[in-house]
Amino acid sequence: MIVSVLLCVMGIFTWCQPSAARRKTAFLFATPTLVFAVISGLLNDQWYYMGAALTDSLAIILLSWLVIIDKLAVRLMILSAVSMSLNVAGLVMYEMYQPSTIYDALFVALYIGVIITLADQEGSNVGMGGTDRLRPGDLRDADPSLRVSHQSDPQI
């Protein structure tokens, strides 16, 4: 029950993002998660854990391909990776006939972390002029202190 409430709150925070870029990032994360939450009741336990891990993988792929990589996208990708790990651990616990209490509690904490991430406006790029945004593979405009020196680089 609590996870359903947290998923609804996550959906609300997805809609309430302050910019179109953040809203797109939040939707690319939330859509696979919410769709899976709706259809997960149709799956048996073993398929649930595998489907949930695949859903997290899909969220990471969508975020890494379709948005400008910013702090929100990175945080959501990290949370998806943590969720994927928890689902693999949940499958192992299921196969070992362990109760799902720890798994359930960790997912409540994870969804609270997602909601906090979506609600965090301090960590957003709004008003920063996009200085900390990078397109995947485009490191030319990155912070010069992060630059890797190459022998073939004409600027060296």
Average model confidence (pLDDT) for the chain?
A: 84
pLDDT score, position 42? 92
Spatial separation of the C-alpha atoms in residues 38 and 4, rounded to whole Å: 10
Residue whose C-alpha is closest to residue 88's, from 113, 62, 52, 114: 52
User: Do residues 15 and 120 touch, judged by C-beta distance below 8 A?
Assistant: no
User: Do residues 26 and 17 touch, judged by C-beta distance below 8 A?
Assistant: yes
The three-state secondary structure class of 75 is helix
Record the pTM: 0.76
What backbone torsions phi and psi does residue 69 show, to the nearest 5 degrees? Answer: -75, 115
pLDDT score, position 151? 53
Tens-digit pLDDT profile for residues 5-52:
999 999 999 999 999 999 999 999 999 999 999 999 899 888 999 999
Spatial separation of the C-alpha atoms in residues 83 and 27, rounded to whole Å: 17
pLDDT score, position 55? 96
DSSP-derived letter for residue 132 is T
User: Do residues 53 and 81 touch, judged by C-beta distance below 8 A?
Assistant: no
The three-state secondary structure class of 155 is coil
pLDDT score, position 145? 53
* Gyration radius (Cα) of the chain, Å: 18
pLDDT at 146 over 70: no
Could you tell me what percent of the chain has a pLDDT over 70?
78
Could you tell me what percent of the chain has a pLDDT over 90?
67
The three-state secondary structure class of 96 is coil
What are the boundaries of each domain within the chain? 2-124
